[in-house]
Chains A and B, each alone.
Chain A
Amino acid sequence: MGRDPRFEGAGPDQAWDAALSQGHVAVQRCRSCRRAQLPFGVLCRACGGVDLASERASGHGIVYSSTTVIDREGAYNVALVDLAEGPRLMTRIEGLPPDLVRIGTPVKAAISEDSTHVLFTPDESA
């Protein structure tokens, strides 16, 4: 028995990193149950299916929760954002003082300068 071909190709982290390096946020969608998920994985955590595809996300989301962390160097925001496609991710909301980030605020994704993670700013168009 050889390796199972269903799991060949780029691994989950590579697929996620590839999307970031192209400047957009992606979600992983299950071709069986159509649910989108983050972080990328080997299987669908909703149905157990293994036929998954990376898909460019709209970049639109809503702040689900938010905290201001205060340390010696100052204050910064840590937030959870629910993407329009469904998945939730940890992030930082930029473009306003951390303690003014409100739950329920529409936000828009922006890839970090080093292309390693997704940040958000208030979505003025929403």
Chain B
Amino acid sequence: MDHPLRGSAAIVGAGNTRRWNALGRTAFDQLQEAAVLALEDAGLRLRDVDGLFCAVSSSGLPVLNAAERLGIRPHYADGTMVGGSSFLFHLHSAMAALAAGLCEVALIAYGSNQLSAGGKLVSMPDPQPSETPFRPRYPISSYALAAARHMHEFNTTREELAEVALAARAWANRNPDAFARGPLDRDTVLSARMVSSPLTRADCCLVTDGGAALVITRAERARDLRQPPVYVLGTGVGISHRQISAMPDLTRTAAVESGQRAYDMAGLGPDAIDHVMVYDAFTITTILFLEDLGFCAKGEGGRFVASGAIAPGGSLPVNTNGGGLSCNHPGMYGLFTLLECVAQLRGQAGERQVADAEVALAHANGGVLSSQATAILGTAATL
């Protein structure tokens, strides 16, 4: 029997400012613009929004700031902050709130000016006294420790990690909105400056600005709106730790759990997925999540990406916008995984369009492999 939430809500509007380097615009400027774009896309107005979901790196009270700037008085709000996956946690909560009748129109919104404001990753104040004395570079050293362990256990190589960056660039070269475009070769990736071994600068996502928003309603309302609805077939979340030293197994993330919950709600498995977006904060994360979500066996991720599977023309289209590695990464990238799924399922992805895409999976990560969230989206044909 179908899960009661399967297909109960749909993404009806999507907004993306595509302003990756916008000097003079604040994080909330980006958020507001994205909200306007998403609502116009849906054919709805700001006053229709009664559920507000947001997270930003630069404010501890994002819902209050966003509501004031949007001029709305929401009666349902969720400012869950679990890092870059927050927006998929928001989608998970919005599904429940919509189904329970606690709101009618949910807006998930995000903005960042981290590139133009200084060019460094902006992190919330969150002291980690048992790690700080050892001066890990945050967050890259945590991911480097996971990559080193993966290489130790499964003989994954730096050359295989490089394939993730090369595939992302190949997709970005088909996306006119991507920030990093142009040729990229294996030697350039492998000879990039080492930051925290085994990860180099080329294994790291971009630092950009950006703004993104989604509008979600119950399915019956979605059918009357302007865009083809993108139905939410399943969502799942998981949390395993805060600090990398508290992660039980550095090669196995809570994506195993979030993914299984999303698959269970959707009544689908990895074989049914036409298009995949996984949060590529670092090259290793693409490999970890492809394994943990069941697209290849644990430990086989390096060989899988080296086979060409995830690049244009491969068997599994992954991170088709160019990902955090080559499209954009404003600090908390999660919402952009959903935006690209929406573009693909609507058939609006231009040169990078995945043919006959009916089911897409978005997966996002937060903290240092700490929070994981998975969403499975589908066209009307999948209901």
Chain A contact residues, CB within 8 Å of chain B: 38-39, 64-71, 76, 78-80, 88-92, 99, 103-104, 112, 116-117
**Contact (A39, B149) CB under 8 Å given A89-B245, A90-B136:** no
Q: How far is the CB of A102 from chain B (nearest CB, A)?
A: 9
Give Cα distance in the complex from A91 to B245, angstroms. Answer: 10
Within 8 A of A (CB), among B219-254: 243-246, 250
B374 to chain A, nearest CB (A): 25
Q: Is the beta-carbon distance between B194 and A70 smaller than 8 angstroms?
A: yes
13 contacts between A and B (CB under 8 A): A39-B130, A67-B136, A67-B199, A69-B135, A69-B137, A69-B141, A69-B195, A70-B196, A76-B135, A78-B134, A79-B145, A88-B245, A90-B243
- Do A67 and B148 touch (CB < 8 A)? yes
Known: A67-B196, A70-B194, A70-B196. A92 touches B134 (CB 8 A): yes
Q: A67-B196, A69-B136, A117-B134 given as contacts; is B244 within 8 A of A103 (CB)?
A: no
- Contacts from B to A (Cβ < 8 Å): 130-131, 133-137, 141, 144-146, 148-149, 152, 193-199, 243-246, 250
- CB neighbours (8 Å) of A39 from chain B are 130
CB-defined contacts of A69 to chain B, threshold 8 Å: 135-137, 141, 195-196
Set B134, B196, B199: member contacting A91, Cβ < 8 A = B134
Complex CA distance for A69 and B199, rounded to whole angstroms: 10
Q: What's the nearest-Cβ distance from chain A to residue B43, in Å?
A: 49
Q: Are A70 and B195 in touch, CB under 8 angstroms?
A: yes
Least CB separation from B251: chain A residue: A65
Chain A residue numbers with a CB within 8 Å of B134 are 78, 90-92, 117
Q: Which of A64, A90, A112 contacts B131 (CB 8 A)?
A: A90
**List of A residues within 8 angstroms of B244 by Cβ:** 80, 90
The chain A residue sitting closest to B199, CB to CB, is: A67
Chain A residues whose CB sits within 8 angstroms of the CB of B145 once the complex forms:
65-67, 78-80
Determine the distance from Cα of A70 to Cα of B144 in the docked complex, in whole angstroms: 12
Name the contact of B141 in the complex, choosing from A78, A88, A103, A117 (C-beta under 8 A): A78
CB distance from A81 to the nearest CB of B (A): 9
Q: CA separation between A39 and B246, bound complex, in Å?
A: 9
Judged by DSSP, the binding face of A is strand
Which residues of the other chain, A, contact B149 by a CB distance below 8 angstroms?
Answer: 64-65, 103
Give min CB distance, A26 to chain B, whole Å.
Answer: 13
Contact between B133 and A116, CB atoms less than 8 A apart: yes
Cα-based distance from A64 to B247 in the complex (angstroms): 12
A89 near B130: Cβ-Cβ < 8 Å: yes
**CB of B362 to closest CB in A, whole Å:** 28
A117 to chain B: which residues have CB within 8 Å?
A: 133-134
CA distance A98 to B239 in the complex (A): 32
Residue of A nearest to B153 (CB): A103
Q: How far is the CB of B383 from chain A (nearest CB, A)?
A: 42
- Top 7 A-B residue pairs of the complex, sorted by shortest distance between their CB atoms: A67-B144, A65-B145, A65-B149, A90-B245, A68-B197, A103-B152, A117-B133
Compute how far the CA of A65 lies from the CA of B369 in the bound complex, rounded to whole angstroms.
15
| Residues in B whose Cβ lies below 8 Å from that of A38 | 130
Chain B minimum-CB-distance residue to A88: B245
Q: A68 CA to B199 CA in the complex, in Å? A: 10
Of listed A67, A71, A88, A92, residue having the most chain B CB within 10 A: A67
Chain A residues whose CB sits within 8 angstroms of the CB of B245 once the complex forms: 80, 88-90
Which residues on A sit within 8 Å (CB–CB) of B131? 90
Whether A67 lies near B141 (C-beta < 8 A) is: yes
Cα–Cα, bound, A90→B133 (Å): 9
Give the CA-CA distance A88 to B249 in the complex, in Å. 11
CB neighbours (8 Å) of A91 from chain B are 134
Since A66-B145, A67-B145 are in contact, a sample of 8 more A-B pairs with Cβ atoms closer than 8 Å, ordered by chain A residue number, is A64-B149, A67-B141, A67-B148, A67-B198, A70-B197, A90-B131, A92-B134, A103-B152
Task: Name the B residues within 8 Å of A80 (CB-CB).
Answer: 145, 244-245, 250
Contact check: which of A65, A78, A88, A112 meets B135 at CB < 8 Å? A78
Contact A103 B148 (CB under 8 A): yes
